[in-house]
Structure 1
């Protein structure tokens, strides 16, 4: 399982955990290339610009890739956001190619009919950090613009890229990776999907219509409910209570899918779901949507390997609402049963329903699957990449 949450935030030097040993090394070359051709394609029918930004693999510095493939490292003198010292936009008229060096936690942004505004700030550690476009605050200059992104990391191990809906759905993006020995493709959402997703959530009622974000009377984005968590307080409480009642009288089996950890068994004891030394309190709706708070908080420096294995599988089962029908996670999971409980992550449900192949990250642990050959997340990855094509489609 190649995880978006863990892989995008890691440099090559950090990829030494046993979790990755088999997944990342066996089919790949000794080292991925120092740089890779990215073909950027504009099928939106509108003027478009791209921005390629992330952290340099060598030293973690914030960086942008210029149209000619050279690198721009922004600098800031203090904590107050200030405009970048240059415009790193890549015009995309039809298609263009850019040579991208190794970088991690990176994004390819697209915007139509305008440019995006990025800012630089001096971080507490003395480095410069980039302030990315804000889709939540209507005071951000980018708020009303039509923009979207794909995520990637290119390091000495491999290229990993995915289309993320963990924050929102906007203009459609597709990925096509050409590598030694073959190709991989993730088509992403088709044109017009955003309006169908917005319509489905409005019809769902309750707090779900608040996830639809408009500009000038037109749907611009549909937000993951994690960004409207305050509107969903208590939404999952009844389901969580039923899960706790079920596993007070029978075991919950979690397969770590790691040879060094194996199968873990949990029961509700003293109000917590207990797996050996690891205890999990009842998650709130916000904990479930965000996958990074309460019992699902990520503390890489202190969490045991067992906890690191349990959290993704438990969080995924809560988002997909399968814990009442399957006590063996993630084995025994059938995608046809995902999101079928009336109280579920309907955003994830309708996003997957609108994807041609059903694949895409609708929440942070959407890569959890019953076996290594099953992929719900919509990623491309390989240790011998040759060309990554990122295509911007028409929003409608």
Structure 2
């Protein structure tokens, strides 16, 4: 399976061109016309956008399809053309207007070309994307960072779904890795009929209320606009930098005295803490320094997972066990029973809340949430269409 970490490596920040604004790096997935003009994409997949918010009219909702194709940053126009990002796209206000309006009523039909990217939705106001020059001298795009108060889109109600679409198929998810704001579901049809991301009735309010009810997490709730993921909250000074410290210490102490077994597709790895390092033997050797709270929340740093098929999956399982707080209690990982997740008072209450609010129990509350298949991710190798539904706010 193509995981989110493989699909969206291109969406990691390659640079920061402005305060808190991520500059998205390109991914080679096809080609843009040599002359740089917009082109009708090969293999265009029908996209239907449905407004079931009950709170916003079609006229106040705009869609943006942006990402990477053929090593170049691109966007999709309303008529399905693929156009490269250009500095000249910035208007007199310094920002692009890549907004695609919804149909005046009913559903809106668009199309997605071969590319890897995001489908953003903005409700009430348009988003401000800025075309800039990246470190290699190429035109690139600054994406919204709703967790940064200085971001020009901070006050705009918006969210996104992520996808990679190429000759191998469509791979997509609804993501809460950075924040949760707009309830949405994706339905993918083709060789199967799959839906994920749908919230239970009142799900949006349940997420806001659950996060607000935990003192350490309450500052992550931004009015009725969004809930910021705790990793970004940590960077913004809204979340304790040592939140997971006692649990991390307990895990390191526990496995200094007994073995930890992690099973992946490559086989079983056996680990033990020694000299402050958690070292594994098995199909390959792997070693992990004691992570920080930030490493746990971002599943990065000491828990970074290379796409090598061996040490990377071990890191992913560790990251999931930390966020779900099953690592200390269970010496054989990954755990697969969701009833055992988030049982301790010190846990990732943000991830717990978004999972509890989804109809299928699946969500992307942190980057390794696909471990044991608990992420709001679906794929189809013979896709016929994709539907993005903005679901009820109540």
User: Do the two structures share a fold, i.e. TM-score over 0.5?
Assistant: yes
Contact kept in structure 1, 2:326 and 2:342, CA below 8 Å: yes
Alignment partner of 1:53 is 2:51? no
Contact kept in structure 1, 2:157 and 2:225, CA below 8 Å: yes
Alignment partner, residue 178 of structure 2: 167
Contact kept in structure 1, 2:147 and 2:233, CA below 8 Å: no
Secondary structure at the residue paired with 2:384? Answer: strand
CA deviations 1:307-363 (Å, max 9, x no partner) are: 212110100000001012211111x53111001011110111111111111111100
State how far apart, in whole Å, the 2-side matches of 1:168 and 1:334 are.
Answer: 25
Counterparts of residues 252-291 of structure 1 (less than 5 Å)? 252-258=260-266, 262-276=267-281, 277-291=285-299
Contact kept in structure 2, 1:163 and 1:188, CA below 8 Å: no
Evaluate the alpha carbon distance shift between residue 307 and residue 132 of structure 1 in structure 2; reply closer, same or farther with a 3 A threshold: same
Gaps of 5+ in 1: 15-32, 370-374
Alignment partner, residue 297 of structure 1: 304
Of the structure 1 ranges 195-204 and 87-96, higher mean CA displacement relative to structure 2 is found in: 87-96
Quote how far apart the aligned CAs of 1:137 are.
Answer: 2.5
Alignment partner, residue 321 of structure 1: 325
Contact kept in structure 1, 2:174 and 2:197, CA below 8 Å: no
Contact kept in structure 2, 1:194 and 1:221, CA below 8 Å: no
In the comparison of the two structures, how many residue pairs are matched?
354
Quote how far apart the aligned CAs of 1:84 are.
Answer: 5.1
Alignment partner, residue 347 of structure 1: 350
Alignment partner of 1:223 is 2:223? no
CA RMSD between the two structures: 2.3
State how far apart, in whole Å, the 2-side matches of 1:233 and 1:249 are.
Answer: 27
State how far apart, in whole Å, the 2-side matches of 1:108 and 1:86 are.
Answer: 15
Secondary structure at the residue paired with 1:385? Answer: coil
Secondary structure at the residue paired with 1:265? Answer: strand
Quote how far apart the aligned CAs of 1:52 are.
Answer: 0.7
Counterparts of residues 228-243 of structure 1 (less than 5 Å)? 228-229=233-234, 230=237, 231-243=239-251
State how far apart, in whole Å, the 2-side matches of 1:136 and 1:227 are.
Answer: 6
Secondary structure at the residue paired with 1:342? Answer: coil
Quote how far apart the aligned CAs of 1:245 are.
Answer: 1.6
Alignment partner of 1:338 is 2:341? yes
Secondary structure at the residue paired with 1:120? Answer: strand
With CA pairs under 8 Å and 6+ residues apart, which has the higher RCO, 1 or 2? 1
Alignment partner, residue 5 of structure 2: 5
Quote how far apart the aligned CAs of 1:82 are.
Answer: 7.9
State how far apart, in whole Å, the 2-side matches of 1:170 and 1:65 are.
Answer: 23
Alignment partner, residue 213 of structure 1: 222
Quote how far apart the aligned CAs of 1:201 are.
Answer: 2.0
State how far apart, in whole Å, the 2-side matches of 1:87 and 1:204 are.
Answer: 38
Evaluate the alpha carbon distance shift between residue 252 and residue 342 of structure 1 in structure 2; reply closer, same or farther with a 3 A threshold: same
Secondary structure at the residue paired with 2:310? Answer: helix
Alignment match of 1:356 (pick from 355, 359, 365):
359
Quote how far apart the aligned CAs of 1:190 are.
Answer: 4.4
Alignment partner, residue 49 of structure 2: 40
Contact kept in structure 2, 1:41 and 1:392, CA below 8 Å: yes
Alignment partner, residue 383 of structure 1: 381
Quote how far apart the aligned CAs of 1:170 are.
Answer: 0.6
Secondary structure at the residue paired with 1:310? Answer: helix
Contact kept in structure 1, 2:29 and 2:68, CA below 8 Å: no
Gaps of 5+ in 2: 11-26, 31-41
State how far apart, in whole Å, the 2-side matches of 1:82 and 1:126 are.
Answer: 22
